[in-house]
Amino acid sequence: MTNPTDEARVLDAVPTGLFIGGSWRPAASGATLPVDDPATGKTLVEVADAGPEDGMEALAAAAAAQSSFAAMAPRARGEILHRAYQLLMERIDDLALLMTMEMGKPLAESKGEITYAAEFFRWFSEEAVRIDGGYAVAPAGTSRFMVMKQPVGVCLLITPWNFPMAMGTRKIGPAIAAGCAMVIKPSELTPLSMHALAAILVEAGLPDGVLNVITTSNAGAVMEPLIRDGRARKLSFTGSTPVGKKLLEQASDKVLRTSMELGGNAPLIVFDDADLDKAVEGAMAAKMRNMGEACTAANRFLVHRTVADAFADKLAARMGALVVGRGTEDGVQVGPLVNAKSREKVVTLVQDALDKGASVKVGAEPGDGPGHFYPPTVLTGVPLEARLSHEEIFGPVAAITVFDEEDEAVAAANDTEFGLVSYLFTENLTRALRVSERLEAGMIGLNTGLVSNPAAPFGGIKESGLGREGGSVGIDEFLETKYVGIAFGG
**pLDDT over 90, % of the chain:** 97
Beta pairing partners, 362? 378
What domains does the chain contain, in order, with CATH numbers? 4-262+465-483 (3.40.605.10), 267-446 (3.40.309.10)
Q: How far apart are CA 320 and CA 331, in angstroms?
A: 15
Give me the pLDDT at residue 368, please: 75
Q: Which residues are designated catalytic?
A: 261
Given a cut of 80, whether residue 254 has pLDDT beyond it is yes
Average pLDDT score over residue span 350-371 = 92
Q: What is the pLDDT of residues 116-173, one digit of tens each?
A: 999 999 999 999 999 999 999 999 999 999 999 999 999 999 999 999 999 999 999 9
Give me the pLDDT at residue 419, please: 97
Q: Is-contact 26 17, C-beta < 8 A? A: yes
Given a cut of 70, whether residue 84 has pLDDT beyond it is yes
Q: How far apart are CA 252 and CA 38, in angstroms?
A: 37
Given a cut of 90, whether residue 2 has pLDDT beyond it is no
Give me the pLDDT at residue 1, please: 76
CA atoms in the 13 A half-sphere facing the CB of 189: 17
Average pLDDT score over residue span 57-63 = 98
Given a cut of 90, whether residue 335 has pLDDT beyond it is yes
Q: Is-contact 178 54, C-beta < 8 A? A: no
Q: How far apart are CA 375 and CA 100, in angstroms?
A: 18
Given a cut of 70, whether residue 248 has pLDDT beyond it is yes
pLDDT category of residue 490 using cuts at 50, 70 and 90: low
**pLDDT over 70, % of the chain:** 100
HEC string of the chain equals CCCHHHHHHHHHCCCCCEEECCEEECCCCCCEEEEECCCCCCEEEEEECCCHHHHHHHHHHHHHHHHHHHCCCHHHHHHHHHHHHHHHHHCHHHHHHHHHHHHCCCHHHHHHHHHHHHHHHHHHHHHHHHCCCEEEECCCCCEEEEEEEEECCEEEEECCCCCCCHHHHHHHHHHHHHCCCEEEECCCCCCHHHHHHHHHHHHCCCCCCCEEECCCCCHHHHHHHHHCCCCEEEEEEECCHHHHHHHHHHHCCCCCEEEEECCCCEEEEECCCCCHHHHHHHHHHHHHHHHHCCCCCEEEEEEEHHHHHHHHHHHHHHHHCCCECCCCCCCCCECCCCCHHHHHHHHHHHHHHHHCCCEEEECCCCCCCCCCCCCCEEEECCCCCCHHHCCCCCCCEEEEEEECCHHHHHHHHHCCCCCCEEEEECCCHHHHHHHHHHCCCCEEEECCCCCCCCCCCECCCHHHEECCECCCCHHHHHEEEEEEEEECCC
Average pLDDT score over residue span 196-203 = 98
Q: What is the pLDDT of residues 370-420, one digit of tens each?
A: 899 999 999 999 999 999 999 999 999 999 999 999 999 999 999 999 999
Torsion of CA 102, 103, 104, 105, to 10 degrees: -130
Give me the pLDDT at residue 341, please: 94
Give me the pLDDT at residue 331, please: 95
Its pTM stands at 0.96
Give me the pLDDT at residue 181, please: 98
Given a cut of 90, whether residue 427 has pLDDT beyond it is yes
Could you tell me which of 449, 362, 374, 442 has the C-alpha nearest to residue 399?
Answer: 362
The β-bridge relationship of strands 232-238 and 257-261 is parallel
Torsion of CA 115, 121, 124, 128, to 10 degrees: -160
Give me the pLDDT at residue 144, please: 96
Beta pairing partners, 14? none
Share the mean pLDDT of the chain.
Answer: 97
Give me the pLDDT at residue 463, please: 97
Q: How far apart are CA 257 and CA 16, in angstroms?
A: 31
Given a cut of 80, whether residue 369 has pLDDT beyond it is no
Average pLDDT score over residue span 2-21 = 95
